[in-house]
Amino acid sequence: MLYKIAVASSDGENINETFGSAKSFVIYEVSDDVYKKSEERICTTEEKIAENNCNSKVCGNADSCDSGCGGQGEASSKVELIADCRAVVCKKIGFPIQKQLERKAISAFDVNCTIEEALNKITSYYNRIDRHESLKK
């Protein structure tokens, strides 16, 4: 099964960007347990974290928005950018973003490790899930 994973990284080696601060996403194509870098997608809008940009209906923090939601429009543009991906891997993903990703059936992984380590684990996980194998070892 062929699918894509979006990764937020500024150095191409480590997962070191939060979803909200990511300027781009590196897209990896996965077939079985083999992954390869296919492209980089640049975020076209810069998110701003400010009261006047916060959509309190999305994050609920209108008084002191620090959730990184950037308002509904900003977050939605990044979610749309990776809408064809099965998963996104970032250093941290806020709850409002997770809900938007969930609505698009995109799995969210917030981890602090190398890209290689994360992709090895995630592709192994999906491979077992797709083959209906037990996750217990």
Per residue of the chain (137 residues), what is the pLDDT tens digit? 799 999 999 999 999 999 999 999 999 999 977 999 999 999 986 544 433 345 444 455 444 444 444 455 556 899 999 999 999 999 999 999 999 999 999 999 999 999 999 999 999 999 999 888 887 76
Domain segments of the chain as ranges = 2-44+82-130
Give residue 59's pLDDT. 52
Give residue 75's pLDDT. 60
Q: What is the pTM of this model?
A: 0.78
Give residue 48's pLDDT. 44
Give residue 65's pLDDT. 46
Tokens encoding 72: 């509904």
Give residue 54's pLDDT. 52
Q: In angstroms, what CA-CA distances link 103 with 36, 66, 100, 135?
A: 26, 22, 5, 25
- Which residue stretches of the chain are H helix? 56-59, 71-81, 95-103, 115-130
Under 8 Å between Cβ of 69 and 94: yes
Give residue 52's pLDDT. 38
The topology (CATH level 3) of 2-44+82-130 is Nucleotidyltransferase; domain 5 (3.30.420)
